[in-house]
Structure 1
Amino acid sequence: MNFDGEDLSHKALSERLDPEETHHFRGCDLTETDLWGASLAGARFESCVLDQTDFRKADLDGADFTGGGGMRIRFNDADLLDVTFTDVDLSSAQFGGALLTDVTFTGCRMIGAALTASRGTGFTVTRSNLTLANLGGCSLRGEHVEGVRFDDADLSGCDFTEATLSDCRLIGTRLLNTTFTGADLRGADLGQPDDARLRAFAGAVINQTQANAILAARGITVL
């Protein structure tokens, strides 16, 4: 079923969607649209307005989101297996309790997004802004994370074991019980190298410039 440029805002759509069909939403306004528990496997959302759209408990396996987006989209307890988000505004999006497996975020604005308490094997993120996001307890183990801003984000309890962070920023990031064992941080801005942050980075690989900055902050000059 195709929805092209339709105003579907503030509507309850779950019962209108045939679970046997694949749905394509192009340029639609889905502001505060109720898609709670909807069957949306394989659906495509292209340049749609998604302000406060309710996807809670929806089946979004294999869905593709391109462009568009909005504030406070709710994905709580939804199934997101093999879902792709490309150039989507996911600011303050809620993923608590969602099943995130093989989910890909590319070029997304995820300021203040909450992915803590999500389930599944995890996700990949590239060239995205996660400033002030909450990823508490998430796993990016072994992932190549490129071009991501984690400024002032909460990464408490996250697992970055053997991950590679290139062109990433960790300025002001909360790193309580975060694991970086075997991680390659040579391409990351580590922020202010205080003692608490250094403990979090234990076991990681850094470059000479980063090491010199850490020592200089402690009054030690390397010649």
Structure 2
Amino acid sequence: MGTDANHVAPRVRLTQAQLDRACERHLAYLSGIAGGAKLSLPFFDLSGMSFNGRNLTNANLSGAILRRTSFTGAKLDYADLFGCDLSEADLSRAQLHRTDLRAATLRGAVLTGARMVECDLRDGAMASATRTDFRILGMEIGPADISAAVMVDADLTRARLSGSTARATDFSGAVLAGAQLTRLDLRDAKLVRANLDGADLADADLRGANLAGAKVRAEALAASIRTDADMRRREAPAEPVEEAAYEPESTAPAITRPNAEQLEAMLTAHAQWVGSAGRTGHQLDISGQDLSGMDLSGRVLTLMKANNTRLRGADLRGAQMQAVQMSGVDLRSSDLRFADLRGAVMDRANLIDANLERADLSMLKTARGHEVRTSLVRARLAAAIFRQAKLVGVNFSGADLTGVVLDGADTNGMMLDGARGLQH
């Protein structure tokens, strides 16, 4: 966090007894027992408190001060810890499956043996548009900081730490297989015997890091920064790229960003257009516009045009997106869980770090009985999550599928000609 958390005043404090009662109500809430209530203590000052052994699944502690707080053996799966201060906290043996720790501070924290599978420790800046609570309180949102933390033997399989800071952090014996570590500052980190198999280290700063006995692929190391000379090369002006190899962003329409009222009017008109089969309303065309971080969850976007649109970090959960035209769209880190993308055209789209869990990308059946494939030709999908998604017949030709999560997905009939990175 860029702003000192102490500047948010007044901070509410609880006694340990009050906190224990709130935790018991949360347990009842998780168990479906009458009288239960979700633990929601955002921006509270809970420094030095004990959550040892507590089940805090899905709890909300975003923005809270949790310095030197103890979570030994606690379960924090799916919890919202966005932007919280966990400096010198003890999370030994804690379970943090898919916990949101974006923009959090864990400097000097102890996470020995913690299970952090698919934990999110990325730079939180892209979520700033949706975190109005932080903006109202004047709190800046920046990279997660786990510098000098002890993460010995922690399980960070497929965790996402892109763009954050982990200087002098001890990852000895940790599992970072398939983790997204792009642009992560790992200077002077200890990665002795760490498992980095399949980890993405593109532009990760490993100067001074100890990798003795670490399991890491040569090509991943080659993409990282190991020396000052590597850093100078990264900072040097880029050479011109031939148009055949890359479509420059400058060829796209000028970027504009609709305000909330304009977007609502456009979405309403589009829903009318879809519902009336084109007799009323207007088709939504947001091609070339910037809707990064916006909330479009549950919206009717069928047949939308969004070519070269920026939707980075957007919330598209459950959106109706059948037969959309989205070539070249930027959907990095977007949330597309449960979205209906049947028949969508998303060629050359960027879906790095996107979450498409339980999304439907199977063939779209038209009124005349034709079947239309969902197309992701030459798309970038590194570390995208397709857990339990319907991918029947999807065209992934030429796509980058490095580190994608396909657990439980229906992959029958997928087209993979020229696709790379998919491990069989």
Q: State the TM-score, normalizing by the size of structure 2.
A: 0.40
Q: How many Å apart are 1:87 and its aligned residue?
A: 0.7
* Counterparts of residues 121-132 of structure 1 (less than 5 Å): 121=162, 123-132=164-173
2:13: which partner in 1? Answer: 2
CA offsets per residue over residues 70-113 of structure 1, 9 Å max, x none? Answer: 42111112222211111100111111133332222111010011
- Point out which structure has higher relative CO (alpha carbons under 8 A, 6+ apart): 1
Q: 1:37 to 1:142 in 2, by over 3 A?
A: closer
d(CA) in 2 for partners of 1:104, 1:3: 26
Superposed CA RMSD: 2.7
CA contact (8 A) 1:74 1:94 kept: yes
The structure 2 residue matched to 1:89, chosen from 100, 110, 114, is: 110
Q: What amino acid maps onto 2:208 in structure 1? A: D
- Deviation of 1:130 after TM superposition, in Å, equals 0.5
1:8-47 equivalence runs, <5 A: 11-12=23-24, 14=26, 15=37, 17-18=39-40, 21-47=42-68
In structure 2, distance between residues paired with 1:186 and 1:46: 34
Structure 1 residue identity aligned to 2:178: G
Q: Judging by fraction of residues, say which structure has more strand.
A: 1
Q: Does 1:183 align with 2:224?
A: yes
Does the CA-based 8 Å contact 2:40-2:61 persist in structure 1?
A: no
| Displacement of 1:41 | 1.3
> CA 1:172/1:121 → structure 2, altered by over 3 Å: closer, same or farther?
closer
Instruction: Provide the C-alpha distance between the structure 2 equivalents of 1:131 and 1:7, rounded to a whole number of angstroms.
Output: 37
Aligned length: 188
Q: Indicate conservation of the 8 Å contact 1:5/1:26, yes or no.
A: no
Q: Give identity over the alignment, percent.
A: 22
Question: What per-residue deviation string (whole Å, max 9, x for no partner) do you get for residues 184-218 of structure 1?
Answer: 3248xxxxxxxxxxxxxxxx96xxxxxxxxxxxxx
In structure 2, the CA distance between the partners of 1:99 and 1:182, relative to structure 1 (3 Å rule), is: closer
Give SS of 1:85's match: coil
Flag the 1:27–1:157 CA change in 2: closer, same or farther, 3 A: same
Alignment-derived partner of residue 191 in structure 1: none
Structure 2 match to 1:219: none
CA distance in 2, matches of 1:160, 1:73: 26
Unaligned 5+ segments in structure 1 are 188-203, 206-223
Larger Rg belongs to: 2
Distance, in Å, in 2 between the alignment partners of 1:54 and 1:9 is 15
Q: Where do 1:1-223 residues align within 5 Å?
A: 1-3=12-14, 11-12=23-24, 14=26, 15=37, 17-18=39-40, 21-102=42-123, 103-119=144-160, 121=162, 123-176=164-217, 179-186=220-227
Q: Give the TM-score, by structure 1 length.
A: 0.73
Q: Residue type matched to 1:3 in 2?
A: L
Cα offset for 1:120? Answer: 7.2
SS of the residue 1:185 aligns to? coil
Query: Where do 5+ consecutive residues of structure 2 fail to align?
Result: 1-11, 27-36, 124-143, 231-424
Moved over 4 A (4+): 4-11, 119-122
